[in-house]
Amino acid sequence: MSDIMIEFRNLTKRYGALLANDHVNLQVKRGELMTLLGPSGCGKTTALRGLTGYVKPDEGQILIDDKDVTNLPTHQRQLGMVFQNFALFPHMTVWDNVRFPLMIRGVSKQDSEPKVREALQLIRLEGLSDRYPRQLSGGQQQRVGLARALVYRPNVLLLDEPLSNLDAKLREEMRFEIRDLQRRLGITAIYVTHDQQEALALSDRVAIMNSGHIEQVGTPEEIYEHPRSKFVADFIGLSDFIPATVESYDAQTARIVVAGVALTAPAVEGLAREQKILLFIRPNDVELALEAAGENVLPGTIRQATYLGDRIDYRVQIHDGIEVRVQTAGTQRLAEGARVFAHLPVARCRLIREE
Amino acid sequence: MRILKLYLHPLWNARLLLIYSFLSGFAILILAPFLMISLRSVGKGWFGKLWFPPEFTLQWFQTAIDIGNIPQVLGNTALIAAIAVAISTTIGILSGWAFGRRRLPGKEVLMAIILLPRMIPPITYALGVAKIFYGLDLVNTYLGVGLAHVSLCAPYAILVLSSTFEGLDERVLEASAVCGANTLKSFFYVILPMVLPGILASMIFTFTTSYNEFTLTLMTYGPDTVTMAVRTYLAIGEGYVEITSAMSVILVVPSLVILAMIQSGIQPEKLVGGFKGV
Amino acid sequence: MLQTWRKYEHNATTWLLLLPAFASFFGLFAYPILVTLIQSFRPEGQADGFTFENYINFLSDPRGRDVIVLTFVLAIGTTFFSLLFSIPLALILRDKVRGHRFFRLLALIPLMVPGLIGALGLLLFFGSRGWFNLAAQALPFVTEPLTINYTLQGLMLFYVWLYFPYTALTTLSALEGLDRAVEEAGAVAGANPRQVLRYLIIPQIIPGVLAGSVLTFMTAFGAFSIPLITGGDYRPLSVQIYKEISSFIPAHWSAASAMAIVMGILQVAALTLYMRLLRQRQVR
């Protein structure tokens, strides 16, 4: 028994000229919650549908528990799935909805009763078992969906944007509930979403997808702190990308020039002299001061200051066409039009090649 | 795995084969009767066990037009349909507005009452209509036959138009008022363009109903108001299959034109959709 | 005071708008039925008088009862076979198979084309020299032409041909109204395609399909042109009513009226019963 539960090998799917999945390779470990994160149309849903068998891949294989399931029909894959629009059976009560996977597997009424009861307890909806889905709120419906997916203890739990039809407060609540259930049951899960907050809060690991391929796989920290491409950096959190030119470099650091000012940043692989490159930094890592002090400082003018309550958002013009966005704590207030110096801490800077 | 695929593939093909034989059977059943009519209408000497007529001719059409008096019959049909469409669309617009846009106590019950003529077989009230029209000298007049058709057409028009008017977005009307349009301008520049498709749909459906209507026509027609449907029925009684076929071909052309129009613009579901609530 | 007047005025306008609709309803439907009802109690051929004779004659005559039974057999049979045919057709067409638009269009043809022409074409197609029999006789075990025209089975077939579109279209629209994710959820939960059909699709569409089949029942019950031309000796109520008027001189107006009233009552009763059964299903 290997510790890889799900594996995509070179999964490829075309819709006409559109390449929905372009040689996707991904391994999900046993008991892990892996999130497929990306904008709509990035291929995350196609990959998930490949796993359920609803989409037949053009090339590649899908393995569940070391078994090739690429050609196995959906109903034989032993999966549990929670859907974006809940997809409860509208003509069945909550109880019958949850019992459905057991009924299909030929479990008798008596034998299934404790299991259904337990599943309903898990999601705290025991009292509503005689209701029909339309009589439930969105959050309750999604809980029923969760119970239905878990009732027969599948090997794998799939969640397809399960929270996107819920309101913001409920979304946060359910996020923890899902995470908690998944941990407690130790079930392997794949979670598809376009919401980066959700991905960071929930996942053991995140796979970021863009136009059919996986850009980067890693823990939420890795993804946020060390994005490997502009797309990843841009997709997760706020980012500044400052165009720069490489002047010199060694194994540890690189000297770059932005609008005539020399700066230092940690070196990355594959640098070359005179190369055009992007200096990436998070707006809340930049510090603003009225006087120049220390190294890695860019002079500029505050063009716009926006009050956001807990912080203030500044747009600082460094040079024609170069603008840096800075977010500082709400305690420091600078006027629009003020001459400022933006300090970019070396450790927070990263060089990213332009795509 | 590969062996499994090999076995599954023909199975999948068998499923497709089954689907398409079902569909072709369906297509043959629907289309073959019309094909046979068309071939009959242009065939000559088609006897015995022959799949196709040995010779082609247009003489049956000639005979149908000469003896069957088709040009006048077509004129009658169009005129009667025009009367039925005009009256029922007017009724439909007025009461459609009342149903769709005004507060009306017991709306559902009123609607059900107005739709009643579509639920009762026409023959049951066609008798009474005929008797009344005899008394009023309306039998064998264009107005009389057209009016008889209105009993069936008007519920259709009301149904289609009240849902059209109901679908008008209140906010758009508000927006036009905010933009400074008075009632008259609102009507011509905003409301009319928005409801025109619905009115057209209602006209097409009522036209089809009147054009195809047989029972009520049969009870109220006379020598001067023979319509295509009745003429074809009489021809069937006369027993000349070829001539009857020629008439049928002429009769069916407008229906097909309307079908093409529907297909290109109007959802066919509307044809039956209105009955759901009844 | 002014407000009350405005409200009154508003209501008055609404009723004024409805006036033409009610005028046509009463003038062309309710009043004719009333006239028919009065006529049905008149002794045959007389201008006044009151009698139950017309009803008694019709209902006590075994042939009269046969006509009623035949009408119901045709209407119920047509509804049943339309359902049997429409459900697979709709299931196929909803999957947007190649050419599905064409087949959808085909399903509309019987609705749009005058019933008379359909009837004539079917008589030609299924006649002893029609394509159907030419094809059938190509089979080894068929020696005689099959008789379909003017038989009860043939009549039923023609009825289904003409009236199935109501059922097919409502079934199709019920199917297309379904959330496909529900079926996917069923498959993921372990249901094979047959189980998905049986436990998820059919139970969901059955209310809509039955409501749609009411239309087939309704129109089949009142069918006139098809049995008039293709029925031969099989005459359902509508044809029998017409024959009372057209085959006798002077016409049997009173007898025809009594039959028409019976037919109307039966239709309304059958519909009410059907609707009540449907509602009960839905409530449950």
**Stretch A198-211: mean pLDDT, rounded?**
94
Cross-strand pairs, A213 = A210
CA distance A68 to chain B (A): 9
For residue A224, is pLDDT > 50?
Answer: yes
pLDDT of residue B238: 83
Residue C22 inside a domain? The answer is no
pLDDT of residue B274: 39
pLDDT of residue B278: 27
pLDDT of residue A259: 86
Residue to substitute from A89, A93, A156, A192, interface C, most C β-carbons within 10 A: A89
pLDDT tens digits along C26-38: 999 999 999 999 9
CA gap B65, B56 in Å, rounded: 18
Q: Which residue has the tokens 């372009």?
A: A22
CA distance B112 to chain C (A): 12
Residue to substitute from A45, A100, A144, interface C, most C β-carbons within 10 A: A100
Contacts of A among chains (3+ CB pairs under 8 A): B, C
pLDDT of residue C2: 57
Domain with CATH 1.10.3720.10 in chain B: 61-270
Buried b (16+ CB within 10 A) or exposed e, B96-110: bbbbbbbebeeeeeb
Q: Which residue has the tokens 């094909």?
A: B35
CA distance C181 to chain A (A): 5
- Chain B residues whose CB is inside 8 A of the A71 CB are 1, 4-5, 8
Query: What's the domain count of chain C?
Result: 1
Interchain CB distance below 8 Å, C188 and A100: no
pLDDT of residue B271: 46
Interchain CB distance below 8 Å, A104 and C182: no
pLDDT classification of B176: cutoffs 50, 70, 90: confident
pLDDT of residue C284: 46
Q: Is A164 on the interface with C (CB under 8 A)?
A: no
Domain ranges in chain A are 4-234, 238-352
pLDDT tens digits along B69-94: 888 999 999 999 999 999 999 999 99
pLDDT tens digits along A66-81: 999 999 999 999 999 9
Measured between CA atoms, the residue of chain A closest to residue C203 is A91
- Chain B residues whose CB is inside 8 A of the A68 CB are 1
Average pLDDT across chain B, whole number:
84
DSSP string spanning A32-82? -EEEEE--TTSSHHHHHHHHHTSS--SEEEEEETTEE-TTS-GGGS-EEEE
- Chain C residues whose CB is inside 8 A of the B254 CB are none
Q: Is B102 on the interface with A (CB under 8 A)?
A: no
Strand B55-56 versus strand B43-44 pairing type: antiparallel
CA gap A267, A249 in Å, rounded: 7
- Chain B residues whose CB is inside 8 A of the C28 CB are 117, 125, 129, 147-148, 150-151
Interchain CB distance below 8 Å, C130 and B36: yes
pLDDT classification of B269: cutoffs 50, 70, 90: very low
pLDDT of residue B30: 94
Give Cβ neighbours of residue B172 (< 8 Å, ≥ 6 apart): B190, B194
CA distance B9 to chain A (A): 11
For residue C4, is pLDDT > 80?
Answer: no
In B, residues 144-183, which contact C (CB 8 Å cutoff)?
147-148, 150-151, 154, 158
Q: Is A101 on the interface with C (CB under 8 A)?
A: yes
Q: What is the CATH number of the domain that holds C209?
A: 1.10.3720.10
The fold of the A4-234 domain, in CATH, is Rossmann fold (3.40.50)
pLDDT of residue B276: 32
Most confident of B9-13, C48-52, C90-94, C132-136: C90-94
Contacts of C among chains (3+ CB pairs under 8 A): A, B
- Chain C residues whose CB is inside 8 A of the B110 CB are 18
Q: Does residue B71 have a cis bond before it (omega within 30 degrees)?
A: no
Interchain CB distance below 8 Å, C17 and B275: no
pLDDT tens digits along A258-271: 888 899 999 888 88
| Among A77, A104, A158, beta carbon nearest to C191 | A104
In B, residues 209-228, which contact C (CB 8 Å cutoff)?
211-212, 214-215, 218, 228
CATH class of the domain comprising A238-352: mainly beta
Residue C17 inside a domain? The answer is no
Measured between CA atoms, the residue of chain B closest to residue A67 is B1
For residue C164, what are its two tokens? 């199935």
pLDDT tens digits along A156-200: 999 999 998 888 888 888 898 899 999 999 999 999 999 998 999
Tell if the pTM clears 0.80, that is, is over it: yes
Q: Is A73 on the interface with C (CB under 8 A)?
A: yes
Structural domain range at position C204: 62-283
Buried b (16+ CB within 10 A) or exposed e, B175-209: ebeeeebeeeebeeebbeebbeebbebbbbbbbbb
| Percent of chain A surpassing pLDDT 90 | 65
| Percent of chain C surpassing pLDDT 90 | 55
| Among A85, A91, A104, beta carbon nearest to C189 | A104
Interchain CB distance below 8 Å, B151 and C28: yes
| Among A77, A85, A91, beta carbon nearest to C203 | A91
Q: Is C191 on the interface with A (CB under 8 A)?
A: yes
The CATH H-level superfamily of B61-270 is: MetI-like (1.10.3720.10)
pLDDT tens digits along B137-166: 999 999 999 999 999 999 989 999 998 888
Give Cβ neighbours of residue B84 (< 8 Å, ≥ 6 apart): B146, B147, B149, B150, B153, B206, B207, B209, B210
pLDDT tens digits along A15-51: 888 889 999 999 999 999 999 999 988 999 999 999 9
pLDDT of residue B272: 45
pLDDT classification of C68: cutoffs 50, 70, 90: very high
CA gap C166, C79 in Å, rounded: 10
Measured between CA atoms, the residue of chain A closest to residue C204 is A91
Q: Is C203 on the interface with A (CB under 8 A)?
A: yes
Q: Are C156 and C81 in contact (CB under 8 A)?
A: yes
Q: Where are the beta strands (DSSP E) in chain B?
A: 43-44, 55-56
Using DSSP, state whether C228 is helix, strand or coil.
helix
pLDDT of residue A57: 92
- Which one, of A303, A309, A261, A311, lies nearest residue A282 by Cα? A311
CA gap B66, B41 in Å, rounded: 15
DSSP string spanning A250-264? -SSEEEEEETTEEEE
**Sequence-distant contacts of B97-100: CB under 8 A, at least 24 apart:** B97/B161, B97/B162, B97/B165, B97/C17, B98/C14, B98/C15, B98/C17, B98/C18, B99/B158, B99/B162, B99/B165, B99/B166, B99/C18, B100/B161, B100/B162, B100/B163, B100/B164, B100/B165, B100/B166, B100/B167, B100/B168
